[in-house]
Amino acid sequence: MLVVAFVVAQTCQKSSVRYTKDQAVAKAEAQVNFTPKREQIRFLRQGLNSKPYWIVSLSRPGKLKGTFSELAVIRIDANTGKVKDIQPPQR
């Protein structure tokens, strides 16, 4: 019984959301080398264990409608707040 309780506790801890949407946006903005004019935030669970992530898109509009002069998509672990990846790579 103790083993089952431990496994359940570990699973719940790894899938919990401890990092807020606002914290994720601030962390994402610190990762890019431009000042974004637009942002889009999505919450997704990915992988076999449904690990929670904030996906933050930051952009600056381009000269033509529907284009971007700058665009970055940052994936942040919603449990730990660690940046998992940035597309395209910055810095």
The CA-based diameter of the chain, rounded to the nearest angstrom, is: 62
Q: Please name each of the domains of the chain with its CATH number.
A: 2-87 (3.10.450.40)
Give the residue, 47 or 75, on which the prediction is more confident. 75
pLDDT at 10: 53
Q: What is the C-alpha separation between 82 and 68, in angstroms, rounded?
A: 26
With bands split at pLDDT 50, 70 and 90, how would you rate the model's confidence at 6? very low
With bands split at pLDDT 50, 70 and 90, how would you rate the model's confidence at 91? low
pLDDT at 22: 97
Here the tokens at position 56 are: 């933050």
5, pLDDT greater than 80: no
